[in-house]
Amino acid sequence: AVVIRTFDHDLLCRFAQHATIPVINALTDFSHPCQILADLMTLKEQKKELKGLTVAFIGDGNNVANSLAFASAKCGMHLRIASPKGYELMPEVLREARSYAALGGSITLTNSPVEAATGADALYTDVWTSMGQEEESRERRRDFEGFQIGEPLMKKAKSDAVVLHCLPAHRGEEITAEVMERFKDVIFDEAENRLHVQKGLMVLLMGRSKAFQK
């Protein structure tokens, strides 16, 4: 198999079209499916059942948000994404994700972190500036003001809500140091779960091949 972590999603798609072996997306500017598999595993560990959970993603409508939207819909979760104006999930992603909501899941977009977080089972955030966007970081810091997971937002979520972060975290930007510390056991389990869930992915993709069984 080939595992590709790159910027340009089209490059990965073109590579996969010509490949004769499995190609695993380890992050592109469009999606981050392996991360979301680990997130689902972590949510299952924490909350036992994915179906019916309300997850609030606070931040950029980016690669992580796209994959989370696809996966949440497929798992019957209620995903609320709160982004600043101009950073919302792309309409075509929203449309595709909603088409997967067979198990009764839903996706709601808002510009209000409080609206998204109220009564949520989990809050999730990611960096404000993703890889390849470094030149925009000053502008983004300004635009994302108020989209931080801190105590005021935690108070709006359920009292047993957990916090997820795909890491690396920028303490003091998208998450406060206090919240990061409080939920570090969940967040570091989430990072560890990348290993377990991606072993599962390899079995799924290659478990029947002779080379894999040797």
User: Residue 131 interacts with ligand NVA (CB under 6 A)?
Assistant: yes
Q: Which of 29, 35, 80, 121 is catalytic?
A: 35
Q: Which of 126, 140, 148, 165 is catalytic?
A: 126
User: Residue 169 interacts with ligand NVA (CB under 6 A)?
Assistant: no
- Rounded CA separation 69/98 (Å): 8
Hey, which residues between 170 and 209 contact ligand NVA (CB under 6 A)? none
Q: Which of 63, 66, 83, 176 binds ligand NVA (CB under 6 A)?
A: 63
The H-or-E segment that residue 93 falls in is helix 91-99
Nearer of residues 6 and 46 to ligand NVA, judged by Cβ: 6
Q: What is the DSSP letter of 130?
A: -
User: Residue 166 interacts with ligand NVA (CB under 6 A)?
Assistant: yes
In order, the DSSP letters of 20-41 are SS-EEE---SS--HHHHHHHHH
Q: Which of 75, 165, 166, 189 is catalytic?
A: 166
Nearer of residues 49 and 139 to ligand NVA, judged by Cβ: 139
* 8 A C-beta contact, residue 43 and residue 71: no
**Catalytic: 126?**
yes
- Rounded CA separation 28/1 (Å): 17
Q: Which two tokens stand for residue 208?
A: 């029947």
Q: Which positions touch ligand NVA (CB under 6 A)?
A: 27, 32, 62-64, 126-127, 130-131, 166
